Amino acid sequence: MIAAGLLAWVLIARSVVTNPASLVHSLGGPIFFNILHFVMIYLGLKELERQKGDRPTFKEGLKTGVAISFVYALTASLFFMGVLAVIGTRWLESEPGAASGAPTSRIAIQAFAGLFLGGMLLGLIYSTVISFFLAKRQSTNYTD
């Protein structure tokens, strides 16, 4: 679902908004992607809870959230590889470093690495926070 949201946003924004330096591309995209990423990890952990019939442990929640982020990062990277193969390097012109005259291959590799590693890092952070609040707490019974 995260990757589908990313695909829809990118395709709609690229076809409707002609200026890649506009506020929609520079600010709207990152806000939308982060909210979508957070919400989908939350929904994934709630689904895990529903399937188990009990709240997951912190470790189970963290592993599930990171797995969700991995699938998102991989799918998003594959989508942009397809875009690069079909459309070419036209979309890379709005990436940082393009104005400096850096080789296109280096800009593409940096963009893919940033997308994949950024998705994984944010997924780890989001999974940690969400798992902390949703995890099953172990009760400590003190008997004297």
Query: Are the CB atoms for 126 and 65 separated by under 8 Å?
Result: yes
What CA–CA distance (Å, rounded) separates 33 from 10?
A: 10
Residue 45 has pLDDT above 80, yes or no: yes
Query: Are the CB atoms for 129 and 45 separated by under 8 Å?
Result: no
| Stated pTM of the model | 0.79
pLDDT tens for each residue of 62-114: 999 999 999 999 998 898 888 888 887 776 666 555 556 667 777 778 888 88
pLDDT tens for each residue of 57-76: 999 999 999 999 999 999 98
Tokens of 141: 């019974």
